[in-house]
Chain A
């Protein structure tokens, strides 16, 4: 039940936060902070109550009982739909990341949001609840439900509290995700129907649907439904165009949530569902997916360099970094998969920090246009130092988490696709180009000495320090995170036939 409590806590906390706005517009912030802190502590308590050995056990993908936590309640028995949640190391890691970045998002919205604070915090908490649900749901119908739950509050966050062109951006975000979500729903139904045909039992459970013998055009279309839904969210080239608009217009907390965790649901979906449910087709499809990944890496980096809007630049850098995730997932060996998971975490942290910086700059200067900045180090050295740190993290400086991630992905990728690896490695160069150009335009250069600007205060420095420590920790001693997800990856790799890699290599050789 603990997982239900966790999600319920966030949902109810949202309602309370909304309600307390009637008393005082400050209260919702404190309620939200308390709710997410409580959820995080509760999650840690759950994790602490499990035995150490259970973290080393490989969770059987056909049997939820072997997972760290498993809950199955009948919901709509007539259609074989259950309320089924389960947690393994991967979900635990991502839920923890979600809650941690939730705290950061609340901190970054603290002084930025000054109207309808209650409804804002409510939407923020509901988004978090939806994301936690996505990471925990193992019934496909329930998964789809949570997928939608995280979409709508996010839409409202952008539409209501966004910037000058928020209506357009929110609508674009909604249509892209909603349309691709619809494709996924169709795919889920087709899959359940196929499962019923094979097993003689209608079920939406992941544990029942895994390992179905799927062939032919229908299977391809079904797989593509999942792939498109997840790649839109990731976002992968060429489905990424909603992201720069959404990020630019979203309030800071919205950008933090979007970049930090919502994008990761796409990567999670590919890893948990799309590839394991369709192993054979995915193996044939892998070269295409990896090609899209490499294209995203390069394309995102070039466009990031071309931007003048701070947030758009960071948004395109996300497109570039998420291209690495796509590459790592479809390379499907242990190194690349570990790298992809590490990238989900490290990019979540580093990009959240960059968006928080962007938000702070906009709040102080009332512009995101970097041409109107320059020399800000003079006014705000602490902001400058933080920006420099995260710019270096973003370009993959060794010793920080992002380097571990990208190095592992490329190392794993080299074994299957050396040429594609060489192309993707160009992303390392272009990342340096845009990250340093960003620093030049904002914090370096001749300062405008008339400009008055407040440096980071204690609250903001606390948020930044947390993320700096996290990235250094991930960079110098990533082992705990690697160990946490290794059993899950073992299980998935075992499920997806081990000759996947060979299939990937031969398909690419044939092309």
Chain B
């Protein structure tokens, strides 16, 4: 008897119960259900993982045939291999910690039941996404997590700004999803199946490397991945999505959902290997995104926005790794990133929670002694994010950088770009630490985090430290050519860069050796600051090019232009009526005269014809 089906079912059941209770469920019961269901799911995942690690046997389970029309027979079926085990462990493991943390964070909210319902629903959908054995079920999970993300970003619905952020998140990702749907249509039309394994086999049979069709199909799928994983040019929704409760940002917008795009590409890697141009595009998009987001993070003031841009940037690294074919390295970074970014978000949440919902880092400061647990968490999280030696992020990022270096041709460029990103990452991470936790106290915390918040933080601290030594069971599932031995110089530079960043951050923000204020005061400095503060004005560009024309068109057309045509008909009828009604005078002499004239006319015609 397999427990596989229980894994998504448990969170789904608990979400359904909470939704059916319509908010009448007592909050402690909602909390127990919400956390407990994820905990039980995590236990089931552990059982599945143990079974998998024993013999590396892929587990499959078909629940029912979703629909069957001709040869289109997608099933509700799961397939669990090493990649899925890794993803499930992250989702339920980190998910459990974040749910536990949420109990305290959301305890005073009147809608805590709705919160846990949405969160559990999200976990269920995310699990379906990674467990699906066919692309249609994967798409169900894919859209499901998007909907839950929408519901949770707009959780505090009273503020229209939250609603705007939620809609933006959904619509921008939907643009990518629509491309992905077209990709599914293309794959099914050409290959006759959407089941992932047969699909990849068929693709390898029928297509050669570099054919047009695999390039087109992977490009369309890439659209979906870019939207979900907030990569250029569809990244603009993620910073705004920070409007949701902070644990939501930790789970959905850092640890799990936003990495779905990475998962998709890794899952279909055989298909992507048939399309080298797509892979190259992925690598370049990853590089551009990671640089752009790192620069932007450096200029932000809101603690959550900094972390959001850093998420975009780190996923950029994962895309870079995918693009150079280092699929396992990418997943490795996904895992360590899930640990340290969840940690950072939860720690940021603790700061916000204890500081009366303050988000601006310049109104924080000196929290090192006031919130020691949070400080420790932030320090460890930032070290891992900056990839300081021996943190988890160090191992995963090194792998990516060295894989990029060994890429033939463009390798050194990708490596240099990644290295610049690593430098920036280190600067903005420690800028955050130094401003928030050192210096003078700006705002006094009014409470200390309780155990429900502290325990997840400590567990995640440990994971962020030791996560680099984990060996993921990906051999045989994902190819990772590894990288050829590189010269020690390259290695030393890669290791040294984050330390350099740390030093720069120290000099700028703590040692005050270089006055950042005077730098900012200069016109050039202010212009650069405002350019990056606005996220390189990409939002403004989209607003001008897409949003304004669409809303303008809808406004212009709102009174139904097609009706002008029918109204013209009505008008012509009325006009004709107006002209003809003159004839109906009711005067006998007028009728008699017209009859005589008519008769004369007819006679004239007849006589002319006979003549």
Contacts and interface: CB of A to CB of B under 8 A. Distances in A.
Interface of A: 237-238, 240-241, 244, 302-303, 305-308, 334-335, 338, 375, 377-378, 381-382, 385, 388, 392, 397-399, 403-404, 407-408, 410-411, 414-415, 418, 421-422, 425-426, 428-429, 432-433, 436-437, 440, 443-447, 476-479, 482, 486
Given A382-B22, A410-B181, A429-B178, A440 B563 contact: no
A35 to B, nearest CB: 32
A426 B546 CA distance: 14
A479 B68 contact: yes
B22 A381 contact: yes
B163 A444 contact: yes
Contacts of B492: none
Interface in B162-195: 163-164, 166-167, 170-171, 174-175, 177-178, 181-182, 184-186, 188-189
Given A241-B560, A428-B174, A381 B23 contact: yes
B411 to A, nearest CB: 36
26 contacts: A305-B551, A334-B70, A375-B158, A377-B157, A381-B22, A397-B143, A397-B144, A397-B147, A398-B142, A398-B143, A403-B143, A407-B181, A411-B188, A414-B185, A425-B182, A429-B175, A429-B178, A433-B167, A433-B171, A443-B157, A444-B163, A445-B158, A445-B163, A446-B159, A447-B158, A482-B67
Nearest to A374: B160
Nearest to A436: B167
A385 B170 contact: no
Given A241-B563, A306-B555, A410-B185, A429 B174 contact: yes
B371 interface: no
A478 to B, nearest CB: 5
Counting chain B CB atoms within 10 Å of each CB, the highest count among A306, A375, A433 belongs to A306
Contact of B562 (A241, A306, A407): A241
A418 B182 CA distance: 9
A479 B554 CA distance: 38
A446 B159 CA distance: 6
A404 B69 CA distance: 12
Contacts of B64: 477
B72 A399 contact: no
A334 to B, nearest CB: 5
Interface in B557-594: 557-558, 560, 562-563, 565-566
A302 B554 contact: yes
A237 to B, nearest CB: 8
A334 B22 contact: no
Contact of B554 (A237, A306, A375, A478): A306
Contacts of A399: 140, 144
A445 B157 contact: yes
Given A241-B566, A381-B23, A445-B157, A302 B557 contact: yes
A49 to B, nearest CB: 27
Nearest to A238: B562
A338 B170 contact: no
A126 to B, nearest CB: 28
B390 interface: no
B28 interface: no
Given A237-B562, A410-B185, A429-B174, 12 more contacts: A334-B70, A375-B157, A385-B22, A399-B140, A425-B181, A428-B181, A432-B170, A432-B171, A437-B167, A444-B158, A446-B158, A479-B65
Contacts of B159: 446
B110 to A, nearest CB: 10
Contacts of A440: 160, 163-164, 167
A235 B147 CA distance: 30
A422 B68 CA distance: 24
Main secondary structure of the interface of B (DSSP, over half): helix
Contacts of B562: 237-238, 240-241
Which 7 pairs of residues, A with B, have the shortest CB-CB distance? A306-B558, A306-B554, A414-B185, A398-B140, A444-B157, A305-B554, A436-B167
B553 interface: yes
Contacts of A381: 22-23
Contacts of A238: 562, 565
B325 interface: no
B327 interface: no
Contacts of A425: 178, 181-182
B35 to A, nearest CB: 23
B272 interface: no
A433 B169 CA distance: 11
B413 interface: no
Contacts of B551: 305
A244 B559 CA distance: 10
Given A303-B557, A482-B67, A415 B189 contact: yes
Contacts of B140: 398-399
B68 A426 contact: no
Contacts of A303: 554, 557-558, 560
B470 interface: no
Name, among B67, B557, B563, the residue most crowded by chain A CB atoms within 10 Å (CB to CB). B67
A399 to B, nearest CB: 6
B3 to A, nearest CB: 21
A347 to B, nearest CB: 18
A219 B356 CA distance: 76
Given A244-B560, A381-B23, A436 B76 contact: no
A112 to B, nearest CB: 24
Interface in B522-570: 550-551, 553-555, 557-558, 560, 562-563, 565-566
A433 B565 CA distance: 28
Nearest to A428: B178
Nearest to B174: A432
Interface string B143-161: 1100100110010011110
Contacts of B555: 306
B139 interface: yes
Nearest to B139: A398
B144 A398 contact: yes
B19 interface: yes
A445 B178 contact: no
B66 interface: yes
B601 to A, nearest CB: 32
B139 A429 contact: no
